[in-house]
A and B are shown apart, each in its own frame.
Chain A
Amino acid sequence: DAMVIQNPRYQVTQFGKPVTLSCSQTLNHNVMYWYQQKSSQAPKLLFHYYDKDFNNEADTPDNFQSRRPNTSFCFLDIRSPGLGDAAMYLCATSLRLGVYNEQFFGPGTRLTVL
């Protein structure tokens, strides 16, 4: 089955220790997104890639970076995690941007910062 996969499902890191979350997809979608979701809040878009074009949301902290080495994979790097970065990180994909861009989410990575 075509799907969005995220690894690891649970990640524990220490304050200030860099961490990388990964996402892969077999849907062959052009767009990949990273969201941050904290408890009882809406998912917050951090950035997205349309193919190799990177688009950063204006309020995404510099501490968050992303890489997309190929169509299937996308990584979220948190350079110096703070306690406030503890959250669920969601990867999503869509075939296109704009109208009709149905987004499909992976299972998420729950990040704990000690």
Chain B
Amino acid sequence: QKEVEQNSGPLSVPEGAIASLNCTYSDRGSQSFFWYRQYSGKSPELIMSIYSNGDKEDGRFTAQLNKASQYVSLLIRDSQPSDSATYLCAVCPSTSLVFGQGTRLTINP
């Protein structure tokens, strides 16, 4: 079983709609959760971090964490073509991050 699992996609969403990205993790002791955006050929860029159960909002982005279900998600409201990228979920079970393989998101104008 992979430690961090994401649907690889591609996930196609029309412009202006809500994009929903999901991630599950296996280590129940994980305390920190991160979402990174990675454009093709570029390095990952941190967009959200979340540490407590519930929702955390930052602009058009909302991260949701449910530790009981070992589930973390990222919602992108009012999706823009510039949001088209691969989104990496990362989890910290101890000292280092474990990344999922990423979900490729395409926003269609």
Contact = CB atoms under 8 A, between A and B. Distances in A.
A69 interface: no
Contacts of A106: 43
Contact of A90 (B43, B46, B95, B101): B43
B108 interface: no
Interface in A23-52: 33, 40-43, 45, 48
A108 B51 contact: no
Contacts, number: 55
Majority SS of interface residues in chain B?
Answer: loop
Given A42-B88, A90-B43, A99 B31 contact: yes
A59 B7 CA distance: 25
A100 B51 contact: yes
A17 to B, nearest CB: 24
Contacts of B31: 99
A103 B42 CA distance: 16
Given A42-B88, A42-B102, A101 B44 contact: no
B43 A100 contact: no
B46 A108 contact: no
B32 interface: yes
Contact of A101 (B41, B43, B45, B92): B92
A88 B86 CA distance: 15
Contacts of B46: 102-105
Interface in A43-96: 43, 45, 48, 55, 88, 90
The 7 A-B residue pairs with the shortest CB-CB distance in the complex, in nearest-first order: A42-B99, A105-B43, A108-B43, A99-B31, A97-B95, A42-B101, A105-B44
8 contacts: A40-B101, A43-B88, A99-B31, A101-B95, A101-B97, A105-B36, A105-B45, A108-B43
Interface of B: 4, 8, 31-32, 34, 36, 41-46, 49, 51, 88, 90, 92, 94-97, 99-102
